Amino acid sequence: MIQIIPAIDLRDGAVVRLIQGDYARQVSYSCTPADAARHWRDLGAELIHVVDLDGARLGKPQESSLRALEAIVGATDAAIEWGGGIRNAMSARRALEAGASRVVLGTAAACDSDAAASMLSELAGRVVIGIDARDGRVAVKGWTQVLDLTAEDLARRMRAMGAQRFIYTDIAQDGMLTGPNTAALRAFCAAVDAPVIASGGVASASHISALAAQALPNLEGAIVGKALYDGATDYAGLVAAAGPPQGSPQEVSNA
């Protein structure tokens, strides 16, 4: 069964979405981050994925986003998965102290093996490795730079260092509402013997059904953003297609 994980993307502390990771193609929403989190929790979401887009591009969590994180935590008891600008243990601890249940390590995983190893050792299951790919190659620094490194090779490297969970994002699908790249996802899931969360492209219950039909034993969840905010789909319909959500706020918090 696939857990449906609503996303909240932040710029300047406000809720936005980027099309295919392009900072020049931004869609802004009128709800506050706390209101968005409260809405998804009221609908049953037990885990919410929050991204500091400014932090991802600038290399460290931004204060406006951290304040939004604190407001989100104050507004809901959902577990919060936080990413964007987590490049060292200090920034990871800052996000965890602000209330995140776990943090997503992206650029540092690809570009700073020592920092990644240190955080995986210190924080163990509270670190999720986020691997974003454009045409199969790893993209970093807010998707502004593509490396000569495949997503699968990076995943295997991080798994060998002790990574316990991964998020795989296909950038070409992100925000396009055309469905996930199931072929790329299958290859990624096959590369690691650890839970994987899919991100990018989900816009309907049929997309979730298609993911479930892949029968990937380590596909744990799917992050959904733009489709929910734009009304292309609804949370209840996605949950119905996926089966009941897994885990609980406390279980996720202690992952």
- Catalytic amino acids? 9, 132
Whole-angstrom Cα distance, residue 164 to residue 141? 22
| Phi, psi of 237, deg, nearest 5 | -65, -40
Sign (positive/negative) of CA torsion 171, 174, 176, 178?
positive
Tell me which H or E stretch contains 49: strand 47-52
Whole-angstrom Cα distance, residue 64 to residue 1? 35
Whole-angstrom Cα distance, residue 24 to residue 11? 12
Listing DSSP states for 85-132 in one string gives S--SHHHHHHHHHTT-SEEEE-HHHHH-HHHHHHHHHHHGGGEEEEEE
Q: Cβ contacts of residue 57 below 8 Å, gap of 6+?
A: 23, 141, 142, 144
